[in-house]
Amino acid sequence: MTVKRVILEMGSGNDLHGGDYTKAAVRAVQDALHHSSLSMLRSLKIDPKTMQVEVTIGVQHPEKVDAATVKATLPYGQITVKVVKGGLDVPDDSSSDLAVIASAAVAVRLDLP
What does the alpha-carbon distance between residue 30 and residue 83 come to, in Å, rounded to a whole number? 16
User: Each residue of 55-110: pLDDT tens digit?
Assistant: 999 999 999 999 999 999 998 899 999 999 999 999 888 878 899 999 999 999 98
Q: Tell me the torsion sign for CA atoms 90, 87, 32, 71.
A: negative
What does the alpha-carbon distance between residue 72 and residue 107 come to, in Å, rounded to a whole number? 16
User: Each residue of 20-45: pLDDT tens digit?
Assistant: 999 999 999 999 998 877 777 778 77
Q: What is the pTM of this model?
A: 0.90
Domains with residue ranges and CATH for the chain: 2-112 (3.30.1330.20)
Provide the pLDDT for residue 36.
76
Give every CB contact of residue 67 below 8 A, 6+ residues apart in sequence.
57, 81, 82, 83
